[in-house]
Homo-oligomer: A and B are copies of this chain.
Amino acid sequence: MAYRDEKLSEEKVFKDPVHRYVHVREQVIWDLIGTSEFQRLRRVKQLGTSYLTFHGAEHSRFNHSLGVYEIVRRIIENFTDRPNWNQEERLLCLCAALLHDLGHGPFSHSFEKVFKLDHEDFTQAILLGDTEVNKVLSKVEKGFPKKVADVINKTYENKLVVSVISSQIDADRMDYLQRDAYFTGVSYGHFDMERILRVMRPMEDQVVVKESGMHAVEDYIMSRYQMYWQVYFHPVTRSAEVILTKILHRAKELYESGYNFELKPTHFFSFFAGEPTLKEYLALDEAVVLYYFQAWMEEEDEVLSDLCHRFVNRRLFKYIEFNPNAQMNEWMELYKLFTKAGLNPDYYLVVDSSSDLPYDFYRPGEEGERLPIHLLQPNGELKELSRLSDIVESISGKKRTDHKLYIPLDRLEEMSSRSKTKKRIMEILFDKE
């Protein structure tokens, strides 16, 4: 039997807290899960620094990747025998679903920002390079790794297949909303996925949803909205993110200035240089990063050591609402105050802005645009969701930016000063306590 058609002698299942069971029948899928590149996802947290806000959020991208695979498996089960659906594309979809996050590194968002990397490039590199994953995919058929890469890259010719993996209501999002809600324990993130799957229909170039399922889709959109504001953009998580980013910046800066590290950051050299090889990229998982951060707590450089201490022991910066454009004077006052106190404002006075585009909202570290959701009306016509749903319409496209100033309250407290701004900030922060 051709490798692509090989079935396991008995179906394998993974116990999954979100979908109850993840079912695997194909030898190809089984082999992919067993590759070292896929197993590596166990050492990358799905939600980066969120575990410092929600202690339950310690789950990995391995977890999520299996979940996305399972949802796609169920979507296709419903598509079988429907018009427009080509069962030949099934294995391709399953592989793309399973592997779509393969290129994620540790704390993706910060790493990408500081080192100017893109995890999607690494996903492509892993699929197409000299890897175990590539070997398995190549056994399926010549050119198969490229096909999988194209689907994930949204350049595959069959747009229907692309939209199963990547759209405003794809398996990726349906899994992470539910999974992140489950592990954080928040009460948002629930919607009737079973119903959505039942009303999904394959059209020529995209997956659409029957109009009768509109309310379930609205519910999904609202879940997303709540999860973004309650979990993904949580200011405490962003505080941890700020510190993490500053650690990476500092280490790079020190390295470039010829600083003599106690612990040579060998794993980081190529990242500092901006050009990690695939092997180097894969070697840097979160265990390794945490190892360095712990070692760096003992470094002589005070900034690096202090920031690492803060990250490892969760002594985060506090935050207040702050818009530097509108509050130029206050900003200057603080800047001077920090400088005078010998505290480098570049590292200890950080403004972070988050924006969201409800319905178009993106998650930090995620690709920008996706296909909008189309509803299939009884008369066979398609209409974009926000044209039929008041709720979705009302939250679509509105951009909301939110500026926050992150500072180490403990250090601010120590500064003896009559600064009004300092006084004001202290009051706000103590009120919040």
Contact = CB atoms under 8 A, between A and B. Distances in A.
A425 B54 CA distance: 46
Interface string A283-302: 10111101100100000000
A312 interface: yes
B187 A215 contact: no
A66 B54 CA distance: 12
A391 interface: yes
Nearest to A398: B390
A95 B189 CA distance: 34
24 contacts: A16-B55, A16-B56, A16-B185, A17-B182, A17-B185, A20-B194, A34-B315, A36-B312, A39-B314, A43-B290, A56-B59, A58-B58, A188-B192, A188-B219, A190-B190, A219-B222, A225-B391, A285-B290, A285-B294, A288-B294, A358-B390, A390-B395, A390-B400, A391-B395
Contacts of A226: 215, 218-219
Contact of A192 (B8, B18, B186): B186
A230 interface: yes
A54 B18 CA distance: 12
Contact of A394 (B287, B315, B391): B391
Interface string A60-85: 10110010000000000000000000
Contacts of A188: 192, 219
Interface in A241-294: 283, 285-288, 290-291, 294
Interface in A379-433: 390-391, 393-395, 398, 400, 431-433
B56 A17 contact: yes
Interface string A109-141: 000000000000000000000000000000000
Interface string A314-341: 1100000000000000000000000000
Nearest to A229: B215
A13 B198 contact: yes
A10 interface: yes
Nearest to A315: B34
A184 B15 contact: yes
Contact of A395 (B14, B358, B394, B432): B394
B194 A39 contact: no
B390 A391 contact: no
A183 B312 contact: no
A191 interface: yes
A39 B187 contact: no
Nearest to A42: B51
Given A219-B226, A288-B290, 11 more contacts: A21-B195, A42-B55, A187-B219, A215-B226, A215-B230, A378-B432, A390-B395, A390-B398, A391-B394, A393-B394, A394-B395
Contacts of A195: 21, 187
Contact of A39 (B17, B184, B225, B313): B313
Contacts of A400: 390
A68 B378 CA distance: 33
